[in-house]
Amino acid sequence: MVAELDGHVMRCVRDQNGNHVIQKCIECIPQNVIEFIVSTFYGQVVVLSTHPYGCRVIQRVLEHCDDPKTQQIMMDEVLQSVCLLATDQYGNYVVQHVMEHGKPHERSAIIEKLIGQIVQMSQQKFASNVIEKCLSFGNPVERQILIGEMLGSTEESEHLEVMMKDQFANYVVQKVLETCDDQQREAILTRIKAHLNTLKKYTYGKHIVARVEKLVAAGEKRLGLQPSRVLPED
């Protein structure tokens, strides 16, 4: 039955019904039998990753095809276009998948490609989800680099302040507070507290205010102190 698909693989992948059949083939049938399916994707990984159905198929290949040659080809193509995929409405799911389920060196390679663009990427609807995954699944050294970039500044403004007011980046800042170590959290909270009064005036800044108040209250509870408000009531 699978052999009947030979010559029609790409047509099936792009079809709203056919893509499910291709996914099931990849999940259930040994790779040596479906080599004709998998090899069709070589050189097409980025194109398929930015397709609503193709992105699912590429994720199945990354999950189930453990042949080193296949993994190498697929990952090389993904890594060549990390920034493009991260900012794409479908491609971002492929990058997130590698961050979540990939090998440590693959995660590191993705983070390396994104370093230097963390603040801009955090403000982009799709890429902000990728940055959150980098914070969750990167190693401590990588997380420190990412946080360091967010704590930088330009002549006009501090990166962190810009991010906290942004509709997408504010979620990245919340993820930082969730994933960082105690020392990093203290440094970030000190920075955030300086902007709390301003943040209250912004729709997205209010999310950060709520998160900070929660963290401060939890810290005081742990130390056995009486809870205090970070900000006075209006």
Model's pTM, two decimal places?
0.87
The percent of residues above 90 in pLDDT, for the chain, comes to 68
d(CA 131, CA 50): 18
Tell me, yes or no, whether 177 lies in a domain: yes
Residues 34-70 have pLDDT tens digits of 999 999 999 999 999 999 999 999 999 999 998 999 9
Tell me whether residue 193 is in a domain.
yes
Each residue of 135-150: pLDDT tens digit?
A: 999 999 999 999 999 9
What tokens appear for 86 in the block? 């991260």
pLDDT attached to residue 234 = 46
- Phi, psi at 225, each rounded to 5°: -95, 160
Q: How many residues does the chain have?
A: 234
- Rounded Cα–Cα distance for residues 151 and 50 (Å): 32
Total number of domains constituting the chain = 1
Parent domain of 185: 117-221
Q: How many CB atoms lie within 10 A of CB 150?
A: 22
Q: Indicate whether 31 belongs to any domain.
A: no
Inside any domain, residue 104: no
Q: How far apart, in whole angstroms, are the C-alpha atoms of residue 172 and residue 129?
A: 8
